[in-house]
């Protein structure tokens, strides 16, 4: 496993961004684990997080014109990734994010930062059923640009509408790559290497039987 992926798991554990218990997801699925990107709540954590996303982008080779962090959690993710690309990859890319509600004074509108044009790379936390990312693609297209790809922290490896994974459906429907730093399998491997996690692994296995691919 590449170093940046190990760093990401270590960081998620350290900042308690990976929680275990019982969580109702946006899709209505009840999951034994949850990834909360809001827990990366300090300068050092965000800096490290940005480096992990930037490494994943560099490793993927995806080409794009603008980096886009969708509201809300994608905003700091996109910003710290843009900083890391400039600081560590000699790549000063334009960065934009959106507001959830249009502003009717001052500069107005819902897009903040760089103009959305050309190929837009979406930076986000998680894809489960794929609903959120489809809404983001609608925003990009409404602004007259096209998606270049999606970079997420965690691929939950879950079914979409039919047999394919939600991520494969997005890749197929829009003809774009979805790059993830880690997958659920990486988390399970991490837990397997620890002790006294058997009960949690069983609950994750049961969840994967129901919703996994
Ligand atoms: P989908 O729209 O079903 O793909 O869910 C993705 C969104 O759910 C993410 O952008 C998050 O807002 C939220 N989410 C998490 O943040 N972490 C998780 O582990 C799972 C979810 C989720 O609700 O599925």
Name the token pair of 211: 């919703």
Please, what is the average pLDDT of the chain? 94
Residue with token string 């939950």: 156
Beta partners for 35? Answer: 18
Its ipTM equals 0.97
Q: How confident is the model at residue 51 (pLDDT cuts 50, 70, 90)?
A: very high
Instruction: Report how far residue 120's alpha carbon sits from residue 74's, in angstroms, rounded to the nearest whole number.
Output: 14
3-state secondary structure of 135: helix
Q: What is the pLDDT of residue 103?
A: 67
**What mean pLDDT comes out for the span 48-76?**
97
Whether the per-residue pLDDT at 108 is higher than 70: the answer is no
Residue from 26, 34, 151, 155 to probe ligand 1 pocket by mutation (most atoms less than 8 Å from CB): 26
Strands (E) located in the chain: 18-24, 30-35, 66-69, 95-103, 109-113, 119-127, 146-155, 178-183
Q: How confident is the model at residue 194 (pLDDT cuts 50, 70, 90)?
A: confident
pTM: 0.92
Q: What is the pLDDT of residue 209?
A: 95
Tens of pLDDT, residue by residue over 22-44, are 999 998 999 999 999 999 999 99
Tens of pLDDT, residue by residue over 1-25, are 889 999 999 999 999 999 999 999 9
Summarize the annotated binding site for 5-phospho-alpha-D-ribose 1-diphosphate as residue ranges: 26, 72-73, 99-100, 103, 105, 124-132
Selected from 3.40.50.10800, 3.40.50.2020, 1.10.10.10, 3.30.430.20, the CATH number assigned to the domain covering 3-204 reads 3.40.50.2020
The residues that are catalytic are: 103, 105
Q: What is the pLDDT of residue 178?
A: 98
3-state secondary structure of 4: helix
Ligand 1: which residue has its CA nearest to atom 22?
A: 25
Tens of pLDDT, residue by residue over 109-136, are 799 999 999 999 999 999 999 999 999 9
Q: What is the pLDDT of residue 75?
A: 98
Q: Helical H runs in 63-178?
A: 74-88, 131-142, 166-174
Ligand 1, pocket residues at CB < 6 Å:
25-27, 34-35, 124-132
Residue 32 CA, ligand 1 centroid: distance in Å = 13
Residue 199 CA, ligand 1 centroid: distance in Å = 24
Residue 26 CA, ligand 1 centroid: distance in Å = 6
**What mean pLDDT comes out for the span 185-189?**
92
Atom of ligand 1 nearest to the CA of 134: 2
| Residues whose CB is less than 8 angstroms from the CB of residue 132 and which lie 6 or more positions away in sequence, other chains included | 26, 70, 124
Angle 161-165-167 from CA coordinates, rounded to 5°: 105
Ligand 1: which residue has its CA nearest to atom 3?
A: 129
Q: Where are the domains of the chain?
A: 3-204
């Amino acid at each position: 496993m590449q170093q940046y992926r190990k760093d990401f798991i270590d960081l998620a554990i350290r900042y308690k961004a990976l929680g275990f218990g019982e969580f109702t997801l946006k899709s209505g699925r009840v999951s034994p684990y949850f990834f909360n990107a809001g827990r990366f709540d300090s300068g050092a954590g965000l800096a490290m997080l940005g480096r992990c996303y930037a490494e994943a982008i560099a490793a993927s080779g995806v080409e794009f014109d603008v980096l886009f962090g969708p509201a809300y959690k994608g905003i700091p993710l996109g910003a710290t990734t843009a900083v890391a690309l400039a600081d560590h990859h000699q790549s000063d890319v334009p960065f934009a994010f959106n507001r959830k509600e249009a502003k009717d004074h001052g500069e107005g509108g819902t897009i903040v930062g760089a103009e959305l044009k050309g190929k837009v790379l979406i930076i986000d936390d998680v894809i489960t059923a794929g609903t959120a990312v489809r809404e983001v693609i609608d925003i990009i297209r409404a602004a007259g640009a096209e998606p270049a790809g999606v970079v997420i922290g965690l691929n939950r490896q879950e079914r979409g509408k039919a047999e394919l994974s939600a991520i494969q459906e997005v890749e197929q429907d829009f003809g774009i790559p979805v790059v993830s730093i880690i997958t659920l399998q990486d988390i399970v491997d991490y837990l397997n290497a620890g002790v006294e996690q058997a009960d949690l692994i069983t609950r994750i296995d049961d969840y994967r039987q129901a919703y996994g691919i």
